[in-house]
Structure 1
Amino acid sequence: MPLPPRYRPSPRISSLGEGFADVVAPARFPARTLRFRNQRWASRLGLGELDAEAWERHFARLEPLPDNLPAPLALRYHGHQFDVYNPHLGDGRGFLLAQLEDPEDGRLLDFGTKGSGTTPWSRGGDGRLTLKGGVREVLAAEMLEALAVPTSKAFSLFETHEALFRGDEPSPTRSSVLVRLSHGHIRFGTFQRHAYHRDAARLSKLLDFCVTHYVPEAAGGAEPAVRFVEAVARRSARLVARWSAAGFVHGVLNSDNMNITGESFDYGPYRFLPTLDPSFIAAYFDHTGLYAFGQQARAVAVNLTRLADALRLVAPQAAFAPAVRAFEPALREARSAAFLSRMGLSPSDPDIDASLTEAIELFLEESGAPFDPFFFDWYGGAASEARARASEAARFYQGERFDALRSLIDLYAPARPEALSHPYFQGDGPCSLLIDEIESIWHAIDAHDDWGPFEAKVAAIRRMGEALGAEAPAG
């Protein structure tokens, strides 16, 4: 079928030439059952009218989209993994399937896969994704999008009917292939790879490509490498701030999991906080707490230094230190904006905004108040006092510790007063995504093939996003 004008193929990665990716063939699955289709984003990108057969052809059989990449590309990269450099990385169970131009804002978008088969970088793995992993990734991406966190979007999930064996979960387990949508798959580790090989020509070409297509604010003037690092630092600061306000713990902040576009992706061992605990970890194998909730800003700052170090091969005299240091002030500013957004409050004086953010965190950490209920109860500030006092968490909203916070909250007006009458805020409590609920959703699927709780959760998350004013795709 002919695709509408909103479908704008733009396979720009081809301009990089040889040395950045490997042509691969997708896996052939025994069967394919659609479990999730992101119709909102499909409509935005001119793919909403694809029928079931065409959707399966492109997003389960992984055949090329029209006028797009003629074959999938497994991208090459390196990275620091738990502070140890690994030169043997690359897309091992995923690849770049297609690139489009977003008709809404003109930005470049990638379709990337997960669980799509082996590549030259699989390192003995089977190149597959468990169905549980696919379900978890859909839920994480939907939740983060609703909470206004820069994130990849889960676009399609098919169950692929293979029996997979894993050492960290009951096996055999069910399999899936995921297609996700993001504003690029160029990682910090992509730059590290070419620096490791002392390939200044490809490193320069990669830098130019990223400035042109992903980080245009770094173009023009002297020292583009420095401006690029500073721009990525500011984007990364916004990401960390939004994670903090969302109570999100990524789990594995290796430099190969950091994207130069400033959005998070690859949701393996993630968690959302039940209560604010800086030492809370998401990955059971993070034995030292390297990527704990309270360490995420430090981890990202370290990875920014590693990005700058890679670029020293092409800009040896450049002053990268100030560019990396831009992360800290940008983070302070972004944190205030993120917490005000989560609270539904209009900005005030920058110093007061910063004080409010600190007071919220101090209260939540010291009181042990539940994280999501607090933001639900006090969304809109004093205008929501009646809802907060009727909350199951109301016992936390008294005493000197809370009074200090309340005196700051009272200085603010609701940013979106109309949101307070939304059905979401007339409900009994917040939409959360804690680990016990994720496990319950998976149990219904695994034990009874019951997708009702999963579908209901996605719908609930989207209702929350609507109430919070999260940007929804057109269509």
Structure 2
Amino acid sequence: MHIKVLSSPYRPDPKIASLGAKIGDTVKAANFPETILRFRNDRWAATVGLENLSDADWVRHFGRFEPLPDNMPEPLALRYHGHQFRVYNPEIGDGRGFLFAQLRDGHGRLLDLATKGSGTTPYSRRGDGRLTLKGAVREILATEMLEALGVNTSKTFSVIETGEELVRGDEPSPTRSAVLVRLSHSHIRIGTFQRIAAEGDADMMARLVRYCLTILYNETPGENPAAQLLHLAVERIADLAASYMVAGFVHGVLNTDNINITGESFDYGPWRFTEYWDPHFTAAYFDESGLYAFGRQAEAMHWNLGQLAVSLRLICEAPPLIEALERFPALFQSAIITRFLWRLGVQSQGIDRDRELVEAGERFMVRGKIPIDVFFHAYRGGRIGWSDQTHEHGVDFEALLAKYPSQDDSGTSYWTASPPCSMLIAEVEHIWAPIAEHDDWQPLHQKVEAIRIMGHALSQR
């Protein structure tokens, strides 16, 4: 569930240029009144050869956006369309961010450095192109927690406070501003394909499909590259949906412009972690119908993949695309089982027994109103201590779990010596308050360290 972090030399490789001018528009970053470094992710900087930058050079590149050596000469605001809460919008694109650089990591993957809050672009519409400092802090917490829980997520690479006072209608204003840089395995979205399909540009669609296959998936295009790509996207995104569930995570805005073709989660706005396995729990206050509720996220991602298939019809017949889409439900269910067992730290006992355990665990959490922290207490066969409740609700999850051997015995001290590490909204506010009131960043740093310790314990397989 974790990609092993490997140090790597700096290897610039700006492949996006091969897609031509239609992929985006060159832009300039805003000239911020201040650039105060607040967060640098040296763990992931090491994977792309940037961990030895001085703080001054870090700010030059990720606050003032001087180009990195032999990389993209100018930032690029990417073009795309998207379904937003199932309503098609052709007037979006990178409205407060841009692609800044592309580099290879220690695994040879092509990674993007891209921004959030870096200023206006041709797609800003009436927005100011900025990001609140609180929004940046929330993104640090989301990405660190998801990474620790084995979710394929972008990494918060840098946060720099920018010295502007922003006015927002949904939080106390004026509020502090920041520019964030994320490290991500591509910023090609389903919405990118939708835009090209809307323009009817078959040549550009074929070029984009080839780019995704060869550059992002490291695959040789076969007889039907479009269907081949859809199969890969279905596999990755079904697993992403399952990983959200087992992490207890609600993204909040699963529009087609927020779904990455590589199946990597990114762009965190009104996210929440749910305390309970509650299918109806929503993250965004404006999601009044519960379209992107906790229990509907797989449905949302499957629907979005359907829009990718519709776009690929520009260069592919329908039957092979339908075949790829029909794989999603089974792939999702398989991924739920795999990730559920991984989170419990136990070995598979065969598909039928595994499915019985997972279904029992879900019923146990739902009917007994048991917090998702049960994963922590039950890790590697730990005794839950709630047998009366399990019998009361007709589910003996603990008895089933007792039949499962643990995956190994490494790192067991973490689960007996530490309390559960969670990230509920009250704690997010608790971490933000001292920053807002006293410029005290210590609670944030302490939480990031605690999350990384948990992630290390989970990765010891």
| Bin of the TM-score, shorter chain as denominator length | over 0.9
Aligned to 2:377: 377
Other-structure match for 1:336: 337
The answer (yes or no) to whether the contact 1:277–1:365 under 8 Å persists in 2 is: yes
- Letter of the 1:357 counterpart: V
Structure 1 residue 34 displacement after superposition: 1.1
Shift of 1:220: 3.8
TM-score calculated relative to the size of structure 1: 0.93
Looking at structure 1, the residues matched to 388 and 331 of structure 2 have their Cα atoms a distance apart, in angstroms, of: 32
Aligned to 1:101: 104
2:4 maps to none
RMSD: 1.5
- The answer to whether the aligner puts 1:152 opposite 2:131 as a matched pair is no
2:417 aligned to which of 418, 426, 438? 426
Structure 2 match to 1:142: 144
User: Which range moved further: 291-300 or 200-209?
Assistant: 200-209
Q: Which residue of 1 aligns with 2:362?
A: 361
Residue 44 of structure 1 pairs with residue 35 of structure 2: no
After the TM superposition, which parts of structure 1 deviate over 3 Å for at least 4 consecutive aligned residues? 394-398, 400-403
Match of 2:170 among 163, 168, 171: 168
What secondary structure, in the 3-state scheme, does the structure 2 residue paired with 1:162 have? strand
- Looking at structure 2, the residues matched to 317 and 306 of structure 1 have their Cα atoms a distance apart, in angstroms, of 12
Q: How many residues align?
A: 455
- What CA deviation, in whole Å up to 9, does each residue of 1:304-342 have, x standing for no partner? 000000010111355211101111111111111110111
For 1:310 and 1:272, how far apart are their aligned partners in 2? 32
Q: CA deviation at 1:351?
A: 1.6
AA partner of residue 267 (structure 1):
Y
1:227 positional shift: 1.4
3-state secondary structure, aligned to 1:19: helix
2:445 to 431, 455, 458: 455
Q: TM-score scaled by structure 2?
A: 0.96
Distance in 1 between residues matched to 2:202 and 2:221, nearest whole Å? 21
Tell me how far apart the structure 2 counterparts of residues 402 and 416 of structure 1 sit (CA, whole Å): 30
Q: Secondary structure at the match of 1:369?
A: coil
Question: Which residue of the partner structure matches residue 111 of structure 1?
Answer: 113
Quick one: which amino acid aligns to residue 378 of structure 1?
A: A
Decide whether the 8 Å contact of 1:376 with 1:425 is kept in 2: no
Distance 1:449 1:371 in 2: 32
C-alpha separation in 2, matches of 1:397 and 1:46: 52
List gaps (5 residues or longer) in structure 2.
1-6
Instruction: Specify the alignment match of 1:130 in structure 2.
Output: 132
- What is aligned with 1:406? 398
Distance 2:416 2:450 in 1: 12
Paired AA for residue 235 in structure 1: R
Q: Does 1:264 align with 2:265?
A: yes
- Which digits, 9 at most, give the CA deviation of each residue in 1:184-230, with x for residues without a partner? 0000000000101111111111111111111234x343211111111
CA gap of 1:359–1:403, structure 2 versus 1, over 3 A, is closer
- Cα 1:395–1:28, aligned 2, differ >3 Å: closer, same or farther? farther
- Give distance in 1, aligned partners of 2:271 and 2:255: 13
* Cα distance, 1:48–1:136 mapped onto 2, change above 3 Å: same
The DSSP-based 3-state class of the residue aligned with 1:163 is strand
Q: Is the counterpart of residue 34 in structure 1 residue 41 in structure 2?
A: no
Question: Residue by residue, what CA displacement relative to the aligned partner does 1:440-460 show, whole Å, maximum 9, x if unpaired?
Answer: 111111111111111111111
Q: Are residues 406 and 317 of structure 1, via their aligned partners in 2, closer, same or farther at CA, if it must alter by over 3 Å?
A: closer
Kindly provide the amino acid, as one letter, of the partner of residue 429 in structure 2.
Answer: E
Provide the secondary structure at the position in 1 that maps to 2:165: coil
Matched with 1:348 is 349
Contact 2:411–2:460 (Cα < 8 Å) also in 1: no
Contact (CA 8 Å) 1:226, 1:318: kept in 2 or not?
Answer: no
- Find the residue that maps to 1:157 and give its secondary structure: strand
Q: How does 1:69-80 map onto structure 2 within 5 Å?
A: 69-80=72-83
Q: Residues 40-99 of structure 1: CA distance to partner in whole angstroms, max 9, x if unpaired?
A: 011222111111111111111111111100010000000000010000010000000100
Distance across 2 between alignment mates of 1:204 and 1:227 = 12
Mapped contact 2:148–2:451 kept (Cα < 8 A): yes
In structure 2, how many angstroms separate the alpha carbons of the residues matched to 1:449 and 1:350?
A: 51
Partner of 2:3: none
CA distance in 2, matches of 1:55, 1:271: 30
Q: Which residue of 2 aligns with 1:281?
A: 282
Q: What's 2:429 paired with? A: 439
State the alpha-carbon separation in 2 of the partners of residues 406 and 228 from structure 1: 41
Partner of residue 212 from structure 1, selected from 211, 214, 229: 214
Give a deviation string over 1:339-397, Cα, whole Å, max 9, x none: 0111111122012112211111111011001112x11111001xx22xx44xxxx5875
Q: Does the CA-based 8 Å contact 2:246-2:340 persist in structure 1?
A: yes
Structure 1 pair 339–450 and aligned structure 2 pair: CA distance change class (3 A):
same
> 2:306 matched to which residue of 1?
305
- For 2:169 and 2:126, how far apart are their aligned partners in 1? 14
Equivalent in 6, 9, 14 of residue 6 of structure 1: 9
**Would the alpha carbon gap of residues 396 and 290 (structure 1) be closer, same or farther in structure 2, given more than 3 Å must change?**
farther
**Contact 2:80–2:93 (CA under 8 A) maintained in structure 1:** yes
Q: How big is the shift at 1:407?
A: 2.2
Contact 2:363–2:395 (CA<8 Å) still a contact in 1? no
CA distance in 1, matches of 2:393, 2:293: 25
Separation (CA, whole Å) in 2 of partners of 1:470 and 1:122: 44
Paired AA for residue 84 in structure 1: V
Q: Which residue of 2 aligns with 1:195?
A: 197
Query: What is the one-letter code of the residue matched to 2:433?
Result: H
| Deviation by residue 1:14-33 (Cα, 9 ceiling, x = unmatched) | 11111111000011111111
Is the CA contact (8 Å cut-off) linking 2:162 and 2:179 kept in structure 1?
A: yes
